[in-house]
């Protein structure tokens, strides 16, 4: 499995080794041992979600408050989508920055979205199905939904026609509004070095 860090620190792209034969293809979508080696900490999947969408559907930008915090391992099991991660962590050197990848079942590519980082996507085909392996279960009232069309973020979604969006996403607050509420995750600063022994 090939691993590459994105422009958003802590978010990684995983590309599996595919094994095709006359029957079709096999690949490993998620290896928690590989994920944990890359991240340097244990990962426990607590919930798995799926959503299917028509072409030109825009979902996101979604995150969760901390606590409870939630990381995601996102893959596309049918169709294709343009996937975005957006750094929402206050104090991060890349706060407000994003990275994009195309996910589809042919490549098997998946994206790890760390806690405090937002996630959204635009579907490129009808009946696109996405899988999310989550590190925490759904807790009502902890969702952070940033308007995906926030002009300050200026995310290049790539749609040519008006995308299909839920009212919740269409009317979501901007990143600046979320920042003023004081609920976004903090960028993890390294611990100060310990004093040398005397």
Q: What is the pLDDT of residue 197?
A: 54
* Res. 162: pLDDT tops 60: yes
Q: What is the pLDDT of residues 119-161, one digit of tens each?
A: 999 999 999 999 999 999 999 999 999 999 999 999 999 999 9
Average confidence (pLDDT) over 86-109: 97
Q: Which residue has the higher pLDDT, 123 or 195?
A: 123
The chain-wide mean pLDDT, for the chain, equals: 94
Catalytic annotation present for 12: no
Average pLDDT for 28-37: 95
Q: Is 62 a catalytic residue?
A: yes
Q: Quick one: which H or E segment has residue 161?
A: none
End-to-end distance of the chain based on CA atoms, in angstroms?
Answer: 46
Amino acid 188: pLDDT: 82
Reply yes or no on whether the pLDDT at 190 is more than 90. no
Name the CATH code of domain 2-181 (choices 2.40.50.70, 2.60.120.10, 1.20.1560.10, 3.40.50.11540). Answer: 2.60.120.10
Burial 133-168 (b: 16+ CB within 10 A, else e): bbbbeeeeebebbbbbbbeebebebebeeebbbeee
34: left (phi over 0), alpha (psi -120 to 50) or beta: alpha
Catalytic residue among 12, 73, 119, 132: 132
Q: Between the CA atoms of 98, 67, 34 and 104, what dihedral angle is there, to the nearest 10 degrees?
A: -50
pTM, whole model, 2 decimals? 0.92
Q: 12, 62, 73, 119: which one is catalytic?
A: 62
């Amino acid at each position: 499995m090939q691993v590459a860090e994105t422009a958003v620190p802590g978010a990684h792209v995983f590309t599996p080794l595919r094994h095709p034969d006359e029957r079709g293809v096999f690949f490993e979508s998620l290896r928690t041992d590989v994920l944990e080696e890359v991240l340097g900490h244990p990962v426990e999947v607590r919930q798995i979600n799926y959503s299917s969408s028509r072409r030109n559907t825009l979902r996101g930008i979604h995150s969760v408050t901390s606590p409870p915090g939630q990381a995601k391992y996102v893959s596309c099991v049918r169709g294709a989508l343009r996937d975005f991660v957006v750094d929402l962590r206050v104090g991060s050197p890349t706060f407000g920055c994003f990275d994009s990848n195309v996910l589809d079942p042919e490549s098997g590519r998946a994206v790890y979205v760390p806690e405090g980082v937002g996630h959204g996507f635009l579907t490129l085909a009808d009946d696109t199905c996405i899988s999310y392996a989550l590190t925490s279960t759904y807790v009502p009232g902890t969702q952070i939904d940033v308007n995906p069309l926030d002009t300050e973020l200026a995310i290049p979604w790539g749609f040519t026609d008006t995308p299909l969006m839920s009212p919740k996403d269409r009317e979501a607050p901007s990143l600046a509004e979320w920042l003023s509420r004081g609920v976004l995750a903090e960028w993890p600063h390294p611990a100060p070095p310990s004093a040398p022994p005397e």
